[in-house]
Amino acid sequence: MESALQNALASLSGQLDFQAPEMRSMIAAFHEQMERGLRGEPSSLKMLPTFTDNPSGREKGDILALDLGGTNFRVLRVRLTGDGREPGITGGKFKLATEHVARTGEELFGAIARFIRQFMEAQGLRGTYPLGFTFSFPIRQQALRRGELIVWTKGWTASGVEGRDVVALLELALEKQGVAGVRVVSLNNDTTGTQVARAYFDPACDAGCILGTGTNVCYRESVSRLGEAPLGYNREAMIINMESGNFNQKLPRHRHDAALDACSENPGAQWEEKMVGGRYLGELVRLAAADWIGRGLLFGGRRPGPLSERDLWSSEAVSALLAAPPDEAPARLAGLGVPGAGPDDAAAVREIGRLFVRRAARIAAAVLSATMTRIDPGLERAHTVAVDGSLFEKMPGFRAFMAEAFSGLFGVRADRIAPVLTHDGSGLGAAIIAAAAEAENIA
């Protein structure tokens, strides 16, 4: 490899490094922002009450769940027995198109209601079913079944939804579609759903985390530590949705982060998410590669399509390239629409990907470390963190980089934080939350 390219890689590696001492100052800032957010003071962490606590594991019923907020929209029927047995889950996945996420709320909720109707017809469901609604965006909840969308994230822009109660919008759409057999009984974020799904079987689970298109963390907090007591809620602990993707202090930011932010739908917001989430990781790698292409360091100055244009390089491409053995990287790049890469070009693009993935995993680990040390400062006991999302599940190296970061921070106590894949947990969690709400309403 030419020395100019080698030097560039070494310097990028330094810029994207994030070691235990820097992580510690980020963790201190995170704690401070958590405190402020809980007290209702201005903070980059929204610390949103969810009106939900961990389940008892005895919740039961025949329940519908909606899962909205990623690439796919899912409708599930979940049968919970409440006796430790695996829930029976049948479900339909529907792909959301641009017109659903980027035009009007009416179109979005209209499409959802149509999918629900189709699903119920296909399953032959008659009668009335309680429904739990996972809505994976920041919602200000005033009760378990009521919450306004604060602001769209992850590039969604459907008009007429911000500031509105999303349960009311869903009910209205269901009514318009003539769907009578559904009662929306609860609303939750995907992090909360994921935590609840795992906690149903595992009482040591006290946090939920998404590492996918977007990223966010929730955890179990004592109600006495909330600035304002949540009205009508009488349990001692509540899950708090931090909206940690919006955290913006002491992060190892690079000029490519600033460039990405400036071109995004929501400049100035979701800084942590823009350094970690799968929606952005590909573009960060592309920005770095394009910079070097422009400086003649890569591809002999040619401008290979997907690496030269905004948003054409995805985190899936980064993942595919990292999964290929190094000597197959040029062929893999060709398969990803970048033909004619020499071994050095391919090795460099691969390494850029690895460096951004390493940084993302370390930031994610720092956020979880801050969360767990808030709950248990000395890590005296074992904690499960329920995690879902494609980065955690599939990105080569991601989990290993996280584990390394925990070791660097906590030494032998690192294994007190156990991130566990809770695949598709948010739909199941929504059903469990709905079942708990039903039981409470009947009692």
Is 25 in the active site?
Answer: no
How many residues touch ligand GLC under the rule CB under 6 A: the total is 16
Is 74 in the active site?
Answer: yes
Cβ closer to ligand GLC: 190 or 283?
190
Q: Which of 53, 74, 369, 374 does the annotation list as catalytic? A: 74
Question: In whole angstroms, how close is the CB of 240 to ligand GLC at the nearest point?
Answer: 12
Identify the CA nearest to 267 among candidates 276, 258, 256, 254: 258
Distance, first Cα to last Cα, the chain: 70
| Residues near 424 by beta carbon (within 8 Å), at least 6 away in sequence | 67, 74, 388
Question: In whole angstroms, how close is the CB of 293 to ligand GLC at the nearest point?
Answer: 31
77 to 106: interface string for ligand GLC, x by CB under 6 A: ------------------------------
Rounded CA-CA distance 304/290 in Å is: 9
Q: Which of 53, 67, 190, 345 does the annotation list as catalytic? A: 190
427 touches ligand GLC by CB under 6 A: no
Q: How many residues are given for the chain?
A: 443
Which residue of 37, 105, 132, 214 would you call a contact of ligand GLC, by CB under 6 A? 214
Cβ closer to ligand GLC: 153 or 422?
153
153 touches ligand GLC by CB under 6 A: yes
Cβ closer to ligand GLC: 151 or 179?
151
69 touches ligand GLC by CB under 6 A: yes
Rounded CA-CA distance 207/201 in Å is: 14
| Residues near 411 by beta carbon (within 8 Å), at least 6 away in sequence | none
369 touches ligand GLC by CB under 6 A: no
Question: In whole angstroms, how close is the CB of 137 to ligand GLC at the nearest point?
Answer: 5
Dihedral of CA 260/265/268/270: which sign? Answer: negative
Rounded CA-CA distance 435/130 in Å is: 8
Contact 371, 192 (CB under 8 A): no
Identify the CA nearest to 76 among candidates 86, 58, 88, 60: 88
Which residue of 74, 100, 145, 154 would you call a contact of ligand GLC, by CB under 6 A? 154
245 touches ligand GLC by CB under 6 A: yes
Question: In whole angstroms, how close is the CB of 242 to ligand GLC at the nearest point?
Answer: 9
Strands 72-80 and 61-68 come out as antiparallel
Query: Could you tell me which stretch among 99-107, 188-196, 223-231, 350-358 binds ligand GLC (CB under 6 A)?
Result: 188-196
Query: Could you tell me which stretch among 19-27, 80-88, 187-195, 280-288 binds ligand GLC (CB under 6 A)?
Result: 187-195
Residue with tokens 């074992």: 382
Is 311 in the active site?
Answer: no
Residue 278 in tokens: 């799968």
210 touches ligand GLC by CB under 6 A: yes
Cβ closer to ligand GLC: 147 or 304?
147
Cβ closer to ligand GLC: 304 or 429?
429
Cβ closer to ligand GLC: 189 or 319?
189
Closest CB to ligand GLC belongs to which residue? 214
| Residues 118/121/123/126 CA torsion (nearest 10 deg) | 130
138 touches ligand GLC by CB under 6 A: yes
For residue 221, the Cα-to-chain-centroid distance in whole angstroms is 20
Rounded CA-CA distance 96/108 in Å is: 9
Which residue of 53, 107, 171, 243 would you call a contact of ligand GLC, by CB under 6 A? 243
Query: Could you tell me which stretch among 75-83, 133-141, 169-177, 362-370 binds ligand GLC (CB under 6 A)?
Result: 133-141
253 to 282: interface string for ligand GLC, x by CB under 6 A: --------------------x---------
Which residue of 43, 44, 141, 189 would you call a contact of ligand GLC, by CB under 6 A? 189
Rounded CA-CA distance 431/169 in Å is: 20
Residue 272 in tokens: 């942590």
Rounded CA-CA distance 66/46 in Å is: 24
Q: Which of 43, 44, 136, 186 does the annotation list as catalytic? A: 136
**DSSP code of 185?**
E
Question: In whole angstroms, how close is the CB of 424 to ligand GLC at the nearest point?
Answer: 13
Rounded CA-CA distance 214/281 in Å is: 10
Identify the CA nearest to 397 among candidates 346, 359, 348: 359
Residue 14 in tokens: 């330094």
Residue numbers annotated as active site = 74, 136, 190
- Per CB under 6 A, residues contacting ligand GLC are 69, 136-138, 153-154, 189-191, 210, 214-216, 243, 245, 273
